[in-house]
Amino acid sequence: MNKDNKTPCHDCQRRAAQRRTVLKTVLGLGVSLPFFDVVKAAAKDPAATPPTVGDQFVFVLGDKKGEVIKVEDLAVGGPQQLAYPMEPTGGVVRDGSRLNQVLLIRFDPAQLTPEAKANSGEGVVAYSAICTHQGCDVSQWKTDTNTLLCVCHGSEYDPKDRAKVTFGPAPRRLAMLPVKVEAGVVMVASAFKGKPGFMDL
């Protein structure tokens, strides 16, 4: 006989308590909501909330760390710039989850494939910075092939072609984050296309 014995969650006591509180509230109001949506809503922390339409981006590294990223900050042709989304009115940087880390990269729009172009703004494309292989940072740049490179196992992605895998063990493309540009500032245009992160075995 073979039983899969999943590990209990790390903070499941806290989560269970949270669930109970939420359920009580919901039952008290007589509102019927799907259970998992309730849990998700209750856990919402603006810093951990996924990129949201209208979010701007801030630098993760370097002298401009924390500053809003403008189109002119991005060199045409790469390399990528690591960024976190920022909720613009309250200024909350969404760095509460690594899965919110994205990379911005700018090209001549004519170089982008149609799908990449459709989700770009003034030649700027944005992708999840989390490798689809084992979840490491896609933080490096290969100048000879113009590809995004993962630090762990060398997977490479073509940013001009919707982050298609061009080398290495990654099983699928990076999730794309559609962006637009307003007054020279790069902003989120819609939610991730695809799921950021990797599928554990």
Q: Is residue 5 at the binding interface for another protein, with CB under 8 A as the rule? A: yes
74: nearest Cα among 110, 117, 105: 105
Q: Is residue 4 at the binding interface for another protein, with CB under 8 A as the rule? A: yes
Q: How many residues bind another protein (CB under 8 A)?
A: 43
Minimum distance, C-beta of residue 47 to another protein, in the bound complex (Å): 13
**Binding to another protein, residues 180-199 (CB under 8 A):** 197-198
Please, is 165 exposed, middle or buried when counting C-beta atoms within 10 Å of its C-beta (0-12, 13-18, 19+)?
Answer: buried
Handedness of CA 129, 131, 134, 140 (dihedral sign): negative
Q: Is residue 44 at the binding interface for another protein, with CB under 8 A as the rule? A: no
Q: How far apart are CA 47 and CA 68, in angstroms?
A: 16
Which of 50, 87, 98, 164 touches another protein (CB under 8 A)? Answer: 98
Distances in Å between the Cα of 132 and the Cα atoms of 3, 100, 151, 178 are 28, 14, 12, 18
Q: Among 56-64, 69-77, 117-125, 175-183, which window interacts with another protein (CB under 8 A)? A: 56-64
Q: How far apart are CA 66 and CA 54, in angstroms?
A: 17
Kindly report the number of other CB atoms within 10 A of residue 191's CB atom. 12
Q: Is residue 140 at the binding interface for another protein, with CB under 8 A as the rule? A: yes
Handedness of CA 195, 125, 88, 81 (dihedral sign): positive
Minimum distance, C-beta of residue 2 to another protein, in the bound complex (Å): 4
Q: Among 30-38, 105-113, 116-124, 150-158, which window interacts with another protein (CB under 8 A)? A: 150-158
Q: Is residue 40 at the binding interface for another protein, with CB under 8 A as the rule? A: no
Binding site for another protein (CB under 8 A): 1-10, 12-13, 16, 60-62, 97-99, 130-131, 134-137, 139-144, 149, 151-154, 167-169, 197-198, 200-201
